[in-house]
A and B are shown apart, each in its own frame.
Chain A
Amino acid sequence: MTFQELILTLEKFWADRGCLLVQPYDSEVGAGTFNPSTFLRAIGPEPWNVAYVEPSRRPTDGRYGDNPNRLQQFHQYQVILKPAPLNIQELYLDSLRALGTDPLQHDIRFIEDDWESPTLGAWGLGWQVWLDGLEISQFTYFQQCGGVDCKPISGELTYGLERIAMYLQDVDNVYDLEWNKGVRYGDIWKRSEWEWSTYNFERADVELHQQFFDAYEAQCTRLLSLSDKRGKGGVLVYEREPLDRLVLPAYDCVIKCSHYFNVLDARGAISVTERQRFIGRVRHIARATAESWLAQREALGFPLLRDPSAPADASSAAASSPSDL
């Protein structure tokens, strides 16, 4: 199975189970979780079932294309089922069967792995899924996003596409993977890995990235009309009503800040003491964005909840027309 066949199989599998197929986000993200289709949609009461590929950047994991297993950009396949159906583990195992992996011919185990994103103020409980000792997926029940309690609970399935493909194609080096018949992973990405590793570790302009960080943080605060003041019990104060806040552009600023932080980190420009402060700053605007999103959806009457007669299965979200959003 080629890399692109792997993607196509998963797309087909989850589309058949009622998921919306959306596309990767057009900004630098560290994981599929950052895509607004996960981070924002996991908040609030509206059902949401979605699947997409997410090219994910981890600047510190770069190895200049020398390491057979580590990349500064890799591909996740991300599935969100909200609320997580009770048979979510079975659905996941069925997706492995669709990839030609018979659980009886392997050792598949669900090993505890709780997930936390300190920058997003998000955490969940779940597992890493082992296929013959190889971690092929992350499986998480979101408990909080941007500091907001999730209810209902989303189930997040994240497939590590390169790892799964290496397993299926029986290769030891990621660059030897067949993207399709004829073009290898290395043909497409090897030079990219070298350039980005060099950029992230050596060339990225530290001062410029610090300015980017500050600027996007300030922009985010303005877009949300977030006040410097705090209310009782530390609650955040906004100067505008929820529908007057530009939540989606604000969330892009959160993504940018998180990414520039990662680059500065790879560049060795963040000391141990500064680190916590940077993380706290991103978390703060992530929280404001999450709260604003929830308030805005509420002000809109939670559009995806609108038709109570629709069956509460995965197809209800897919049935909603764009004008409802």
Chain B
Amino acid sequence: MPRELLIEVGLEELPASFLAQALSSLRSAAEELFTSARLTPESIETLGSPRRLALRVRGLPDRQPDRQETVQGPPWAAAFDDAGKPKNGALGFAKKQGVEVDALVAVETERGKYVAANVFEPGRDAAEVLPELLAGLCARITFPKSMRWGEGTFAFGRPVHWLVGLFGTEVVPFEFAGLVAGRTTRGHRFLAPQTFDLADATDYEPKLAEAHVIVDMAQKKQRMHDALVAAATQHGGVLSPDDFLLQECTSLVEEPFVVPGTIAEQFLELPDAVIVSVMRDHQRYFAVRRPDGSLLPTYLNVVNTALAPEVIAKGNDRVLRARLADAQFFVREDRKTPLASRLTRLDNVTFQTKLGSVGDKIRRIDALARALAPAAGVAVEQASQAALLCKMDLDTLIVFEFPELQGLMGRHYALAEGLPAEVADAIADHYKPTGASDEPAPTALASVVAVADRADTLVGCFGIGLVPTGSADPFALRRATLSLVRTAVDGAIDVSITELLAAAYDGFPAGILGPRDEVLAQLDEFVRARLRAFYRERFPGDVVDACVAAWPGASIRDVAARISAVDAFRERPEYEALAVAFKRAHNITREIPRGEVKDALLEAGPERELAEAWRGARARIAAATASGQYQDALAVVATDLRGPIDRYFDSVFVMVEDEALRQNRLSLLAEIADTVSQVAHFHALST
């Protein structure tokens, strides 16, 4: 049975955020190095804890296979003279490849005759190859930041203290960071401080577990999670899920223990979100909630040593009290200054150097929100109130300390000031949707503010040339656009984008932004690209493109209506033939001037039949299109035009010699093509 290989790099406590990157770089370097050393194993796994990075390799061959290879050398003429006597080129090449000059052979290549050597390299024992390979492997472990220590000779994530290298029972004495690998390892810093030897690589995981170190990260995470859930249940609550915290805590302890603590009663008046932020950001405690979602006065602390849980809980309770006292101080201070009076202070906070202060931005949002309100069915005064208050909490101490509480604290303070609940909610909700998994703002009021805010940022940034590039989008303009789309599509109000962006542009003082037409044209293109990207995740790409291209750039919901109508239309039996026909009609009429269809010139039979079917359908299609009833428009197309247009193209020759006749036929087709193109660019659809 092949032996197992185990290496461990023992170090001082690695930052939690370093562990995942270090282990994944270790793994991919190992895959590459073992393969190129012709020692491809069955499996490679990484193991780790704050004080160790380890690699377990299973099914490693004991020996490399032999290597037989023909190595190409210099051109023949450069290696041998005309008499066949070797020149320096041949001698040097033979020496380098370790073969006699006589053994060199000729190979014919596309570029002529070359010298080659048949090289045979016998496989070496893995035990012989490994020391160098493993030293190189350790050097390839990467960290977000490296440091030097001691004499300052080596750089690594944290100082390295010991190395283990075991191939089965045999030590692989590889060298790294001034140390030589052996079989001696260490357990938990406090619970098992003695060093101990590993007899076999397979002992690693069980022996470390005995020494209070869980090296399997997934297993440790699971165990920790189970303990957290059990503790939460025991306290009559539910663990508040937090993936970041789970990952972080897994990387912070060698063996996870859960110690519950108590949130002192005098702090429960603070909003739940503040308490959770304090616990999470500063102390990495998990929150526990009641079935109704409210916070229990209990927190769960994942620790590395828990021989005296009551001492640990007491200490942590004290720290949390001090932290919450700070937060409470901030909230009380904040309450002394009403939100509405903070505008002048925000005049001194820069939003963006060229775009002015946060105060300026608030005033622009206000103007835009007032303009948007009537169409959204929102009272103008209320929209203005919400808009003017929406960013005021950026001036508060608590949001300065916990930026993730923006909006939530605005709502909290607004309610405390007795402002209307819907205005308070709009302050919190105008940031929605915060990401792809978040819902858009639930009310028309919040949506109006949200849309005004995004539009102002988009226009401002584009106006001063801060346009997102491939990877860089520091102002998150893609996300802002997506938020506009989601607010319209899944949210409370539709957005007429062209009008909105133009109004936002006009809200800036003259001379700050680039030329109006250019900026708006650039934004139109950007919005269309985002729309395509958004819908391509839900509908076929060609349908999306055809509809976005036909969209005049007003209502965003209108794009959705087109796309779903066309997508449904594609399922109809008539689709294929119609799409082909429209494409033909579009292609032959693309270049020609439009004209009136003259009844007198219509030929009896399929041409007249089509013209009459068109005359009957046209108004209904146009009316349905104009009112956004694309499904209806396409239904008329399918029922009324399919037969006539098929027969027309089967028997009518359009490009006849007679110019008047030809022009008349093209005019009819152009009318049809132009009308259906207003729904979607059918010619862009794949058929």
Please report A residues at the B interface, Cβ cutoff 8 Å.
Answer: 67-69, 83-86, 89, 103-112, 114, 124-125, 127, 131-134, 141, 143, 149-153, 167, 172, 271-273
Contacts and interface: CB of A to CB of B under 8 A. Distances in A.
B74 to A, nearest CB: 42
Contacts of A149: 152
Contacts of B12: 89, 110
Interface in B111-166: 145, 147-152, 158-159, 161
Given A107-B259, A141-B149, 18 more contacts: A86-B159, A86-B161, A106-B308, A106-B315, A107-B304, A110-B13, A111-B252, A112-B17, A114-B145, A132-B316, A133-B319, A134-B316, A141-B147, A141-B159, A152-B150, A152-B151, A153-B150, A153-B151
B328 to A, nearest CB: 11
B322 A69 contact: yes
A137 B50 CA distance: 19
Given A106-B311, A107-B306, A110-B12, A83 B17 contact: no
- Residue of B17, B301, B303, B349 contacting most chain A CB atoms (<10 Å): B303
B330 to A, nearest CB: 12
Contacts of B13: 109-112, 127
B152 A150 contact: yes
A132 B325 CA distance: 18
B326 interface: yes
Given A107-B305, A143-B147, A112 B190 contact: no
B315 A131 contact: yes
Nearest to A131: B315
B329 interface: yes
Contacts of A143: 147-148
5 contacts: A86-B159, A104-B191, A106-B311, A133-B319, A143-B148
Nearest to A273: B350
Contact of A167 (B50, B190, B306, B315): B315
Contacts of A105: 307-308, 311
B321 interface: yes
Nearest to B253: A109
B528 interface: no
A69 B326 contact: yes
B198 interface: no
Given A108-B190, A133-B283, A153 B306 contact: no
B217 interface: no
B299 to A, nearest CB: 10
Nearest to B353: A273
Contacts of A114: 145
B148 A151 contact: yes
Contacts of A152: 150-152
B150 A83 contact: yes
B314 interface: yes
A89 B161 CA distance: 12
A131 B70 CA distance: 64
B141 to A, nearest CB: 16
A222 B279 CA distance: 50
B346 to A, nearest CB: 13
A88 to B, nearest CB: 9
A7 B312 CA distance: 24
A180 B472 CA distance: 58
A79 to B, nearest CB: 16
Interface string B400-436: 0000000000000000000000000000000000000
B320 interface: yes
Given A109-B252, A153-B150, A133 B320 contact: yes
Nearest to A127: B13
B152 A132 contact: no
B190 A104 contact: yes
Contacts of A103: 190, 305
Give the top 10 A-B pairs by smallest Cβ distance, nearest first: A132-B315, A112-B15, A151-B152, A133-B316, A110-B13, A107-B303, A125-B147, A133-B319, A105-B308, A107-B312
B236 to A, nearest CB: 23
A69 B253 CA distance: 28
B16 interface: yes
A273 B329 CA distance: 28
B620 interface: no
B342 interface: no
Contacts of A271: 348
Given A104-B305, A107-B305, A107-B312, A132 B319 contact: yes
A104 B150 CA distance: 28
Nearest to A109: B304
B516 to A, nearest CB: 30
Interface in B325-358: 325-326, 329, 348-350
Nearest to B148: A153
Nearest to A166: B318
Contacts of B316: 132-134
- Residue of B16, B50, B252, B322 contacting most chain A CB atoms (<10 Å): B322
Given A105-B307, A107-B312, A151-B148, A134 B259 contact: no
A167 B252 CA distance: 23
Contacts of B16: 112
Contacts of B17: 112
A280 to B, nearest CB: 18
A133 to B, nearest CB: 4
A300 to B, nearest CB: 21
Interface in B1-59: 12-13, 15-18, 50
A134 B18 CA distance: 23
Given A112-B15, A131-B315, A272 B307 contact: no
A53 to B, nearest CB: 23
A176 to B, nearest CB: 13
A134 B151 contact: no
Given A112-B16, A127-B13, A172-B321, A106 B312 contact: yes
A151 B148 CA distance: 9
A271 B348 CA distance: 9
A291 B50 CA distance: 37
Contacts of B308: 104-106
A67 B305 CA distance: 32
- Residue of B12, B18, B349 contacting most chain A CB atoms (<10 Å): B12
- Residue of A85, A89, A125 contacting most chain B CB atoms (<10 Å): A125
A125 B145 contact: yes
Contacts of B329: 67
Given A67-B329, A106-B308, A84 B150 contact: yes
Nearest to A271: B348
Nearest to B348: A271
A112 B316 CA distance: 19
Contacts of A104: 190-191, 305, 307-308
Contacts of A108: 190, 304-305
Interface string B179-196: 000000000001100000
Interface in B365-395: none
B151 A151 contact: yes
A86 B315 contact: no
Contacts of A150: 148, 152
A24 B158 CA distance: 31
Contacts of B319: 132-134
Contact of B312 (A83, A125, A132): A132
Contacts of B322: 68-69, 172
B345 to A, nearest CB: 12
